[in-house]
Amino acid sequence: MKKILALLIFSCSFLVSSAQTEVMLQGFYWDSYSDTRWTKLEGQADELARYFDLIWVPNSGYCGSSNNMGYMPLYYFNQNSSFGTEAELRSMIATFKEKGLGTIADVVINHHNTNGWFSFPVETYNGETYQLQSTDICRNDDGGSALTEATAQGISLSANNDTGDDWNGCRDIDHKSANVNKVVKAYLSFLLNDLGYTGFRYDMVKGYSASYTADYNTASHPSFSVGECWDGSTTIKRWIDGTKVDGVPTSSAFDFQFRYRVRDAVHQNNWALLAGNASDSGGYPLIYQENYRPYAVTFVENHDTEKRANDNQDPLKADTLAANAYLLAMPGTPCVFLKHWLNAKSDIKRMISARKLAGITTTSTYEQVASASLYYGVKTTGTKGSLICVVGKTPTAYTAPAGYTKVCSAADYIYYLDNTTAAGWQAVEDQIAAEVQAEKERQEQFEPYTATVYVKADFTPVYFYIWDSNNNTQLNGNWPGKQPSTTTIDGETWYYQSVSITASDYYFNIIFNQGSGKPQTDDITNITTDKYYTATISSGKVQFTDVTATVGIVAVQSDRSSSDGRIYNLMGVEVKQPVKGSIYIQNGKKYISE
């Protein structure tokens, strides 16, 4: 097994003396309910583990709906989320761990959602009951409006004000509270010691004192910790220093100024903006400052910056290969954005491979070798060799010195390795070529089939609004879609519609609804096999339950349950290539494909 990043020891001292080589993948983006399904990520474990050491996934707790990215947490110990069941989560984490890939949990503890203003759910874990109370809510939450409402209802809040920034999306919880400390520490222990997570990405750490991150890390001992302190370098460094125990930081932080410097170079078409030095100036990215370099988690895009489509400066709209090339050539702990990975796997694989061949670490040194408006070059020296990265509109304008070999390139970047290190490059190309060929063969072997969705609803009319993974193509016309056909299963009426699955990565999504302006379900996504649901209207919304495992078997005709070894889906249609995680019939018995 690969060595997972050991940034913390039991006294919670950061191992700055031991340079680390890890590369992280952010395994999600906003609304990535299909690409980030636990089963889908687990199916990519071999490929991911060859290039990444850590994968950061969304908050895996149940947040009250089937379409929730996790940033308004409702439950800590209920781990059936928008990305899959707890069983699927455990399987994914275990598979990743077996292959040396550590899973990083998204820990959202600045705030907590409620049922109403002040009612938190009761949870039981290992025989102990946990519940946040109204007295765990910061007294000045929501700029004082929470206190006004609490007074009107005769409810008590904490006597303590927030120790950080206020946020009015949920209730800000008081980390001075003994009950909050108890619940949070139990939750973090559950993530690490029961579910098997490797470490934590702490959300919105400006919302509470950095000393609490130090306390939580000291109690739980994660192998990796990074905080989202979305601010300038001066504030980020102050937060890192605030996590110290015995004079040593217990957490790294995202290097937002690194990201913004790369963004500005791209958008202003001025690559000289990447220039920097080891100055301790607050305006410089952490990665440019030797004392904070070991604590810098660098990135060029994340779920939040990519989502800001209306901002003229965000997201990155061009030169994403150049941005990633610079990211992966520099020291620190680089974090690759999932969309970039999916859109440019072969290039990013080469970048990561070059980084690892050179042995670039969190503390590696680098020097500028070229700086102009149209291109910028940097040489980073690792433990095994040197890598020269040139990025910009005209990277070919730079001439590498003698003793270096160009190993990979595109229109906006070039990588050179020193000749000794470059001797191992052919193995990289062979591996990538084998992966490309394997994917090609997998696609060629795919046989199209039909997936049917059934719903038993206690209301009429019923409409199916359906769209697919092919540029969100509408399959049933505009909203609210069309009324489906009906059939009888075990004496009951079911509505159904079939969709052709035309490729191995094709899926469709559906919403059950009563018509325009009427109740509807949340999005039901990533459908690739026959599915059965029940639907009922409650509180002005269509609530649905997946009953495939208990109802689907009824639809299989007895004459299809033969003992000849052939495989059938739950509608009795013979299947040549079972899909992992789906339910099938073989020799008269139901099983889940693995």
Is the distance from CB of 302 to CB of 323 less than 8 angstroms? no
- Which class for 138: exposed (0-12), middle (13-18), buried (19 or more C-beta within 10 A)? buried
Q: What interhelical angle do 210-220 and 178-189 show, nearest 10?
A: 50
Distance CA 535, CA 520 (A): 10
State the burial class of residue 485 (Cβ atoms within 10 Å of its Cβ: 0-12, 13-18, 19+).
exposed
3-state SS, residue 17? coil
Res 246: pLDDT: 95
Would 76 be classed as within a structural domain? no
Domain containing 559 equals 449-592
Q: Is 506 exposed, middle or buried (0-12, 13-18, 19+ CB in 10 A)?
A: middle
Answer whether residue 236 is part of any domain. no
378 domain-assigned: no
Say how many residues make up the chain.
Answer: 594
DSSP states of 80-94: -BTTB-HHHHHHHHH
pLDDT for the residue numbered 152 = 96
What does the DSSP assignment read for 143-184?
Answer: GGHHHHHHHHHT----SSPPSS---SSSEEB-TTSHHHHHHH
Residue 583 in any domain: the answer is yes
Name every residue whose Cβ is closer than 8 Å to that of residue 17 and which is 6 or more positions away in sequence.
none
CB 11 within 8 A of CB 245: yes
Reference 573, options 581, 564, 565, 585; nearest CA is 585
* 440 lies in some domain: no
In a domain, 480, yes or no: yes
What pLDDT, on a 0 to 100 scale, did the predictor assign at position 6? 39
Q: Angle formed by the axes of helices 425-445 and 345-358, to 10°?
A: 150
Structure tokens at 547: 């009953």
Burial profile 323-360: b = 16 or more Cβ within 10 angstroms, e = fewer: bbbbbbbbbbbbbbbbbbbeebbebbbbbbbbbbbbbb
Q: How far apart are CA 228 and CA 249, in angstroms?
A: 15
- Round to whole Å and give the CA distance between 360 and 53: 14
What is the model's pLDDT at position 470?
84
Which pLDDT does position 417 carry in this prediction? 98
Residue 515, phi-psi category: left (phi > 0), alpha (psi -120 to 50), beta (remainder): left
Query: DSSP strand E in 419-546: where?
Result: 449-457, 463-468, 485-489, 492-501, 508-513, 524-527, 531-538, 541-546
CA 146 – CA 67 distance, rounded (Å): 26
Amino acid present at 518: K
Give the contacts of 302 (CB within 8 A, at least 6 positions apart). 26, 254, 259, 335, 337
* Number of separate domains in the chain: 1
pLDDT in tens, the chain (594 residues): 444 433 433 334 443 335 789 999 999 999 998 899 999 999 999 999 999 999 999 999 999 887 889 999 999 999 999 999 999 999 999 999 999 999 999 999 999 999 988 999 999 999 999 999 999 999 999 999 999 999 999 999 999 999 999 988 899 999 999 999 999 999 999 999 999 999 999 999 999 999 999 999 999 999 999 999 999 999 999 999 999 999 999 999 999 999 999 999 999 999 999 997 544 444 789 999 999 999 999 999 999 999 987 777 789 989 999 999 999 999 999 999 999 999 999 999 999 999 999 999 999 999 999 999 999 999 999 999 999 999 999 999 999 999 999 999 999 999 999 999 999 999 999 999 999 999 999 888 889 999 999 999 999 999 999 999 888 899 999 999 999 999 998 889 999 999 999 988 899 999 999 999 999 998 888 899 999 999 999 888 999 998 988 886 555 443 344 456 777 665 555 666 676 555 566 765 555 565
Answer yes or no: is 507 within a domain: yes
- DSSP for 485-509 reads EEEEETTEEEEEEEEEE-STT--EE
pTM of the model: 0.87
Q: Compute φ and ψ for 486, nearest 5 degrees.
A: -125, 155
What are the respective helix, strand and coil percentages of the chain, to the nearest 5?
30, 25, 45
What DSSP character marks residue 583? E
The answer to the question of residue 483 being in a domain is: yes
